[in-house]
Copies of this chain bind each other. A is one copy, B any other.
């Protein structure tokens, strides 16, 4: 006899977290309550499903929900773990279904990036193979903004706001120091394959001489001669030059610049691409260089969230529940842009199969031809994503992110030993 569809929703977080992924969790919980549907969370993404490590969200009151919605990081824990294709690991696939069945889960909601959307499809396939009725939906998030099928990815706008603000402010700092040696400020930002975050720093620029003066992205192979010439130009003009570089900057031969340097120097590389550029320019021109590497600071700026980003993160979470209730399956919710100025957007959806595993690159036409700043098209796209009102309570000057103590859901199955934690 086939199972009756479960009424419970299960939500989990996957991949690198963002400043607003918990706003999506909030949206899910609010919508589930509105529909009168029970909702659970899995701890650490799909690993929590395999381990039957589930959390009850029933006890969350209004204050808890507000705290959840403004907290950076992943409140339920995240993971970087891919399921095996169900056909190649039937035991794992069965385990996923067993856990969902044991807790009456009829809707699986997975909040992640392009790799995580593959996991959603794998869970759907596992359920299909087992004849278990399950709706599987994806909720987008990534600071990298590299998800296909959505105008932007929740998480990106806040990181973009943080980095653009940082470039504007650090640029004013660099500009105010005088010296006969040229000064160089390099900010190395995230982006292994895509230059979205590097491009976002271009929003700092309002007038021609404002930082950043050069934006280096993985999509455009690094031309060291042209780069050096342009740095020299800016130092000659202003006494300093501010550069944003994506960690994944590549040489014309396709290797990462950081790899090339390691091969050349024949020793262990301690710095990233920012340090390498600073070192080369110092050696060549004698410039005094400062390198900032915001690292996780750009991924977790809860204090500087974009209001637009927050609203979109919450909306794509809520919409996933609404869509599930209306019967949707194997889709990811998306942000659909309706107009640039005034900025208008709505939530849509796209088939998971059309977005899983794909990476959306930065269109080079978003940069000006020399790569020094944003083009008009780039600015039109980016500007609304960092806007919108948002404030976080700071009773003692620091953001107040209370830790939620969520009760575990009692296990109903024997332990599962089939997968090592990564």
| Residues of A near any B CB (own CB < 8 A) | 13, 16-17, 19, 44, 47, 71-80, 161, 164-166, 168-170, 172-180, 185, 203-204, 207, 265, 267-271, 275-276, 279, 290-297, 299-304, 306-308, 383, 386-388, 391, 396-399, 401, 403, 420-422
Contacts and interface: CB of A to CB of B under 8 A. Distances in A.
B302 A169 contact: yes
Given A270-B271, A294-B292, A396-B383, A300 B72 contact: no
A110 B74 CA distance: 47
Nearest to A268: B279
Q: How many copies of this chain sit in the oligomeric assembly?
A: 2
A392 to B, nearest CB: 10
Residue among A19, A77, A170, A422 with most chain B CB within 10 A? A170
Given A179-B421, A297-B166, A72 B303 contact: no
A398 B421 contact: no
A179 B422 contact: yes
Nearest to A389: B394
Nearest to A421: B180
A297 B294 contact: yes
B295 A399 contact: no
Contacts of A291: 293, 295
Contact of A397 (B170, B301, B387): B387
A299 to B, nearest CB: 6
A299 B173 CA distance: 8
B79 A173 contact: no
A298 to B, nearest CB: 9
B421 A73 contact: no
Contacts of A297: 166, 169-170, 292, 294, 297
B388 A397 contact: yes
Nearest to A258: B270
A203 B175 CA distance: 31
B271 A73 contact: no
Contact of A174 (B173, B174, B179, B296): B296
Contacts of A161: 397-398
A303 B162 CA distance: 10
Given A291-B295, A422-B180, A301 B169 contact: yes
Contacts of A178: 44, 47, 77-79, 421
Contacts of A396: 383, 386-387
Contacts of A19: 169
A210 to B, nearest CB: 9
A276 to B, nearest CB: 6
A71 B421 CA distance: 48
B300 A172 contact: yes
B271 A172 contact: no
Contact of A270 (B16, B204, B269, B306): B269
Contacts of A47: 178
Contacts of A78: 176-178
A78 B170 CA distance: 14
Contact of A276 (B175, B270, B397, B422): B270
Contacts of A295: 170, 290-293
Given A165-B399, A170-B299, A173-B296, 20 more contacts: A13-B176, A17-B173, A73-B172, A76-B176, A77-B178, A78-B178, A79-B178, A80-B179, A168-B398, A174-B296, A180-B420, A185-B296, A203-B398, A270-B270, A270-B279, A271-B271, A291-B293, A292-B294, A308-B397, A386-B397
Contacts of A169: 19, 72-73, 296-297, 300-303, 399, 401
Contact of A165 (B13, B71, B175, B303): B303
Contacts of A79: 177-179
